[in-house]
DNA sequence: TAAGTAGATCGATGTCCGTCGATCTGGAGT
DNA sequence: ACTCCAGATCGACGGACATCGATCTACTTA
């Protein structure tokens, strides 16, 4: 899989007809697309999207034990989703004794948000 | 646009006390989360994200034959991605003779964009 | 030191996804 | 009618994903 986005010479169209305006290039380069797609993918699960929503609205750090009863999933599954969000660079966590506190990394959603606007 | 989940206020974490109360809140906005997650999931692939980017920048309808040479993937794969975007309600297509033209549905990204902002 | 607890990790399972070559569909040109 | 072509669909394959119960880890408390 190449990064190359060059246009190949297209086959000739019938009787000089075009199907559309000539060349279109993606303005978003591949690395940007990879980064934003990774964030979008992490948000592509209803539970993770709601998790981010809860964390964002709280504006502080939220204990995992507060999150567990909000969703009808087992604790390991929630932990799995939080890890996905961590791996995507959307949230981070802090351990304090037995409890773990999660928060949204500032500007983590900025690039995708700006692209969507 | 938000999931509207209120959390119990944080309390002091003294010895022997719970860090929080396991309150269950009605998930009134689950439908919103499902809808936005579906859009995010569709954007969670670099090629699909670039596809949407090209279609959005073009502001008109783009022929599939223009899209194929932009990406280093086989034609059925591109068709598969376009179908994913169609199923997510992000794009739609028009057939004109041999050619198919794709375009971004207006406001399709609006809800997710507003939530991200 | 022993018991208890919050949260992460492991292992298994069933499902979904991205990719491709091959094939099908239907309009266009000869 | 026949051929050519653009694009969609099919079938298969390998890998990723969501989910769970069981277990592990690390800290707190008796």
Strand D contact set, beta carbon < 7 A: A 11, 19, 41, 45, 47-48, 72-77, 80-81, 84, 95, 97-98; B 15-16, 63-65, 68, 75-76, 78-80, 82-83, 93, 98-100
Please determine, for residue A4, whether its predicted confidence score (pLDDT) is greater than 50. Answer: no
Its sign, for the CA torsion B100, A38, B109, B34, is positive
**B93 found inside a domain:** yes
**B9 found inside a domain:** no
pLDDT band with cut points at 50, 70 and 90 for residue B5 = very low
Residue with tokens 């996905």: A84
Instruction: For residue A105, count other CB atoms closer than 10 A to its CB.
Output: 14
Contact B71, B50 (CB under 8 A): yes
Domain at A108, CATH number: 1.10.10.10
Instruction: For residue B32, count other CB atoms closer than 10 A to its CB.
Output: 20
- Judged by DSSP in three states, A79 sits in helix
Q: What is the pTM of this model?
A: 0.84
DSSP states of A28-66: S-HHHHHHHHHHHHHT-SHHHHHHHHHHHHH-S-EEHHH
The chain-wide mean pLDDT, for chain A, equals 83
**B98 found inside a domain:** yes
Closest CA to A111 of A29, A2, A18: A29
**A22 found inside a domain:** no
**B43 found inside a domain:** yes
pLDDT digits (tens, 9 = 90+) for A63-94: 999 999 999 999 999 999 999 999 999 999 99
Taking residues B51-62, report their average pLDDT: 90
Q: Give residue A49's domain range.
A: 29-116
**B103 found inside a domain:** yes
What's the number of domains chain A is made of?
A: 1
Say which nucleotide is closest to residue A81, CA to C1' distance.
D18
**B16 found inside a domain:** no
**A72 found inside a domain:** yes
pLDDT digits (tens, 9 = 90+) for B15-31: 345 566 544 554 558 88
């Amino acid at each position: 899989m190449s990064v190359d986005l060059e246009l190949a010479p297209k086959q000739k169209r019938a009787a000089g007809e075009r199907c559309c305006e000539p060349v279109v290039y993606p303005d978003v380069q591949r690395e940007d697309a990879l980064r934003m797609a990774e964030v979008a993918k992490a948000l592509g699960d209803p539970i993770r999207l709601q998790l981010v929503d809860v964390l964002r609205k709280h504006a502080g750090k939220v204990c995992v034990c507060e999150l567990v009863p909000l969703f009808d999933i087992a604790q390991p599954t929630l932990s799995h989703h939080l890890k996905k969000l961590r791996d995507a660079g959307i949230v981070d966590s802090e351990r304090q004794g037995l409890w773990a506190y999660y928060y949204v990394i500032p500007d983590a959603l900025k690039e995708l948000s700006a692209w969507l606007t």
